[in-house]
Amino acid sequence: MIRSAIVIGGGIAGMASAAVLGRMGASVTVLEQVPKLTEIGAGLQVSPNGLCVLRALGLEPELVNRGALRANAVSLRDYRSSGEVARLDLKRLAPDQAYYFVHRADLLDALTGAAKRASADIKLNQSVVEVLKGEIPEVVLANGDVLRAELVVGADGVHSVARSSLNPQSSAFFTKQVAWRAIVPNVVDQPNEARVYMGPGKHIVTYPLRGGMFVNLVAVEECDDWQDEGWRQNGDPDQLRETFAEFSGGAAPLLDSVKQTSKWGLFRHPVAARWFEQGIALVGDAAHPMLPFLAQGANMALEDAWVLGRALKAGDLRGYQSQRLKRVTKVVKTTQGNANRYHLRSGPIRLAAHLGLKSVGMVAPSLMLKPFDWLYRHDVTDKRS
């Protein structure tokens, strides 16, 4: 049984890993590079598969108390009108399943609390420059300090230092898509549903946050020219409105309400070839960076954390990757397919696709959720999984 672990990264993947590993009996230290944990304005969708982990950690009531909203539906809409093309009725999920809209800061606070209750030691302002694998792996900090533990968990995102210790450098490629993110007041009184406004080469996703006071808005456009990867770049709200000026219906008032926005290029990274070797394990985006078209980045990180903890408890860390690889690879592939469906160009193909969705939704609404059974019904906390 491994008794000591260092987790690199204090985001969703890192704090979830710290909470789970601590519950499994390890003494955990979390290294986060920022000097202070601050609220980052972003929404997350916690689907039933991710919620299984949060429930196992006892965090669902806390999230609800913080304003997490139980989602009723995903509404697919045409960008020029307010009418629905199709509707995924989330109330048709199994009775023990739920889907939530959560502010990222609220989820991170809840996971941080769980990590602290599991006796994790959270150290801020810790910049990691190198991770050395070995019988007792080492973490080298920018100030020259060297820390050691029996297990080092790389939860340090798409530019993971830990990942580079296990895998040769791999090249990401620009997907020719750029995304904008903003949180705005709920000026349209949007109910507890995610709305996807689908346009030629563009789409907008909106859903309410914090008891319905705010709306999370993500707008994606196809774009040939982009240089830098990263989502904390400031965007121009007027440019956002100009780019999506043809979007009407419920999206328009929300766009008009944007005061501040971030903008980032979407890059596709390969799934890591190695997730564990010589005392180093990868979780979340460090192992499998995700595009935002299936809302599974946080959920896959939660699943990773639980499976890693179970492998640690069983003394079989080498089995961690084999338990996760097939599922995560399928999620990555499905994510890209969603982007293509949202961005269909005007013409017969787009019209036929939308008519097909509307027909299925009207004749057999229960079938709209069926394609997601493999994703939402998966419970990593079930001992049989």
Task: Return the bridge partners of 195, or none.
Answer: 75, 206
Contact by Cβ (8 Å): 7, 17: yes
Q: Are 292 and 179 in contact (CB under 8 A)?
A: yes
Query: For residues 195 and 203, is the Cβ–Cβ distance under 8 A?
Result: no
User: CA 70, CA 45: separation in Å to the nearest integer?
Assistant: 10
* CA neighbor of 205 nearest in space, from 353, 53, 342: 342
Asked if residues 39 and 59 have their Cβ atoms less than 8 Å apart, the reply is no
* Inter-residue contact 300 to 326 (CB < 8 Å): no
**What's the token pair of residue 185?**
């007041």
Sheet holding 69-70, edge to edge: 43-46, 100-103, 69-70
> What's the first-to-final CA gap in the chain, in angstroms?
22
Distance separating alpha carbons of residues 82 and 61, to the nearest angstrom = 34
307 close to 324: Cβ distance less than 8 angstroms: yes
Helix ranges restricted to H, 24-157: 48-56, 60-65, 104-117
Strand partners, 220: 179, 203
Query: Amino acid letter at 244?
Result: F
Ramachandran bin of 315, using left for φ above 0, alpha for ψ from -120 to 50, beta for the remaining angles: left
Q: Are strands 173-185 and 214-222 parallel, antiparallel or unpaired?
A: antiparallel
Residues involved in catalysis: 207
DSSP-derived 3-state class of residue 128 = strand
Distance, in Å, from the CA atom of 209 to the CA atom of 68, rounded to the nearest integer, reads 7
Distance of CA 26 to the CA centre of its chain: 26
